[in-house]
Amino acid sequence: MPEYIKALIYVIAVAVPALLLANRLASPLIASRELWLWQGSWLAATVFAFLSRDFMVFIVLMSLLSVFIHLRSKEPAALYIVLLFSAPCLAVGIGIPGVFNRVLDLNLPRLLSLSLLLPVAIGLWSEPSNRSLRGVDLPAIGFWALLTALAARQDDIASVLRLLPGYFLDILLPYFVFSRIVRTRQHLDRVLTAIVVAALPLAAIGMFEFWRSWRVYYVVVLEWDIDLITPYLFRDGLLRAAVTAIEPIAFGFLCMVAAASAISITDRRISSRWRSLTVLLLLGGLGASISRGPWLGFALFVLVVLLSDSRARRTGMLAITGLLLAIYLLPMQVFERLFNLLPFVGSADRGSETYRERLFEQSLLVIQRQPLLGSKDFIAAPELQVLVQGQGIIDIVNSYLQVVLEFGLFGLALFVSVFAVLGGQLAVRWLRRKDEAAYYQGLLGLIVAIVFTIATTSSVSFIAQIYWVSAGMIAGLLRRPEVLNPAPDAERVGRDAPALQGIRVLGRGI
């Protein structure tokens, strides 16, 4: 049996139970026909990825699937999220024969932006209210505009043409669509649910990869004839699961955001049992990535949610106590292995922390020479060349450094302003509405987790798409303050926000 067929069988066998769990979680929010379309489309994309012997064949099949989705789905933007992580996130250069060898680095997220989001964006643009700019729209669109203008620094027209579509498809289009489609509390819940449904099967597959020390999606990469610098990454002798993200930290980032999303869904009809199982499975995927940045990011999310309401602190402390007790009861050998993997205190992969410190110090020297607008050739600076690793690369493991080195302090200010405005407005509205059923705590915790975690990694794989979708979704909430206010006849259970209930559910699960 060919390796790619064997891998496909394992993927389907592991993913189906996770999809059934996703069905249980999402059924109160998503119509059954639409939910089956979500899951059927994910399975179809997975089969396409493994059976396509060429990347361009996969692109054609996914394009046909996108047409089918537009014919059948009421919310194609949600399908963008569901399919965003369904195949290895690798780019292949697409050109115009006889004119340009390479005019676009095409990957699955960009294909889905073109085929699913662009038609939605055109429809949204036809409504005058969607063309007005408010709040966080200004720094977000300003950041995209600055990057677009700085593309003119490239030495040839082909390089300029390659960058411009990428900025549009990766930044502007996801942000615009999701900042305009979130118009009600139900819309917000469906976007959060789409993130969870997309991540659940991958979390299960990631745990399988960790258990078997086998990256099942690597056979797809080989079939597409794409070279990876480091196809397998280990920490303390343990395989770091990556599934379709290719990079373990990007997979951990996805599981972190999905777990926070599952806790933050506001709909009261979701069973606490299914929410608990969902979060625990996503945390299993997060653990399988062995990525300490997302681990700490999720811890910050939980901390923000717990601190937002004194009534949740007791439950949170009980959950933490139960977790510590469970760790204490582990066999000593397992406990020592786990302790070594922890950030700051563990001894595993200390070189990673040293490298990050040196990267920051050397980057400051480069930034001083061109502080305002950065440099397109920053990677060739002698100060950074001393950081070349054994694979022959310089890994800029900090998204903020990545931005400031290439686009300067102006670019960094706009980029940081997006998240600062979102976090600030969420905090202010939560403080003003603490006694009302407004649900800002979970989203505030999500922003804090994202802001922290991208300081530990560059925006590789689909990380940028995740945080731009999240930013757009939250911006849609802030454009319409009534989004999270319940209807007068809405069912209410106590006065706790669902994010706090989710933490309590997680505590009972532990």
The more confident residue out of 507 and 471 is 471
Measured distance CA(305)–CA(313) in Å, rounded: 9
What is the mean predicted confidence (pLDDT) over 391-411? 91
Looking at the predicted structure, is the pLDDT value of residue 312 above 90? no
pLDDT at 307: 79
CB atoms within 10 A of CB 143: 25
Q: Given this model, what pLDDT does residue 335 score?
A: 52
Burial 350-384 (b: 16+ CB within 10 A, else e): eeeeeebeebeebbeebbeebeebbbbebbebebb
* pLDDT of res. 393: 82
Cβ atoms of 278 and 508 within 8 Å: the answer is: no
Among residues 238, 200, 212, 253, the alpha carbon closest in space to that of 89 is found at: 253
Rounded distance between C-alpha atoms, residue 100 and residue 112, angstroms: 23
Which residues sit opposite 239 in a β-bridge? 234
Q: What pLDDT sits at residue 317?
A: 60
Query: Is residue 324 scored above 70 in pLDDT?
Result: no
Please provide the average confidence, as pLDDT, over all residues in the chain. 86
Give which of 257, 290, 209, 225 is closest to 90, Cα–Cα: 225
From the list 9, 77, 90, 6, the residue with the least C-alpha distance to 43 is 9
332-345 confidence digits (pLDDT tens): 565 555 656 666 55
Q: Is the pLDDT of residue 492 over 50?
A: no
Check whether 496 has a pLDDT greater than 50.
Answer: no
Asked if the model's pLDDT at residue 199 lies above 90, the reply is yes
> For position 142, what pLDDT does the model report?
96
In this prediction, residue 46 carries a pLDDT of 97
The whole-angstrom separation of Cα 492 and Cα 408 is: 48
Looking at beta carbons, which pairs linking 119-124 to residues 24 or more positions away fall under 8 Å? 119/70, 119/76, 120/76, 120/77, 120/177, 120/181, 121/173, 121/176, 121/177, 124/176, 124/177, 124/180, 124/181
Q: What does the pLDDT look like over 268-304, one tens digit per residue? A: 888 888 998 999 999 999 999 999 999 999 999 988 8
pLDDT (0 to 100) of residue 311: 56
Task: Check if the beta carbon of residue 66 is closer than 8 Å to that of residue 222.
Answer: no
Residue at token pair 């697409």: 94
Q: Is 427 exposed, middle or buried (0-12, 13-18, 19+ CB in 10 A)?
A: middle
For residue 339, what pLDDT is reported?
Answer: 58
Count of residues making up the chain: 510
Residue 436 in this model has a pLDDT that exceeds 60: no
- Give the H or E element holding residue 34: helix 32-51
Weakest-pLDDT range from 8-12, 193-197, 268-272: 268-272
Q: Mean of the pLDDT values across residues 447-473?
A: 95
Residue with tokens 């069912």: 491
Is it the case that residue 489 has pLDDT exceeding 50? no
More confident residue, 143 or 92: 143
The DSSP line for 231-294 is S--EETTEE---GGGSSHHHHHHHHHHHHHHHHH---TTS-HHHHHHHHHHHHHHHHHTT-HHH
Alpha-carbon 408 to chain mean position = 25
Dihedral class, residue 37 (left if φ above 0, else alpha if ψ from -120 to 50, else beta): alpha
pLDDT confidence of 329, banded at 50, 70, 90?
A: low
Residue 380, CB-side half-sphere exposure with 13 Å CA sphere? 3
| Per-residue pLDDT at 422 exceeds 90 | yes
CA distance 407 to 152: 12
Report the run of H or E that residue 222 belongs to, with start and end: helix 218-223
Q: How many CB atoms lie within 10 A of CB 5?
A: 12
Q: Is the pLDDT of residue 391 over 90?
A: no
Q: 172 vs 90, 128, 143, 181, 450, CA distance in Å? A: 20, 18, 9, 14, 19
Q: Would the pLDDT of 133 be above 50?
A: yes
Lowest mean per-residue pLDDT among 36-45, 172-181, 327-336, 365-374: 327-336
pLDDT band at 305; cut points 50, 70, 90: confident
Burial (Cβ within 10 Å: 0-12, 13-18, ≥19) of residue 339 = middle
pLDDT of residue 409: 96
CA dist list (Å): 40 to 32, 36, 56, 322: 12, 6, 22, 38
Question: Can you tell me which residue has the tokens 């310089």?
Answer: 394
What residue has token string 């901390």?
303
pLDDT in tens, 334-384: 555 565 666 655 556 666 778 888 999 999 999 999 999 999 999 989 999
What confidence tens digit (pLDDT) does each residue in 81-112 have? 999 999 999 988 887 766 666 778 899 999 99
Q: What does the pLDDT average to over 433-440?
A: 54
pLDDT tens digits, one per residue of 146-172: 999 999 998 888 888 889 999 999 999
Task: Please give the pLDDT value at position 161.
Answer: 84
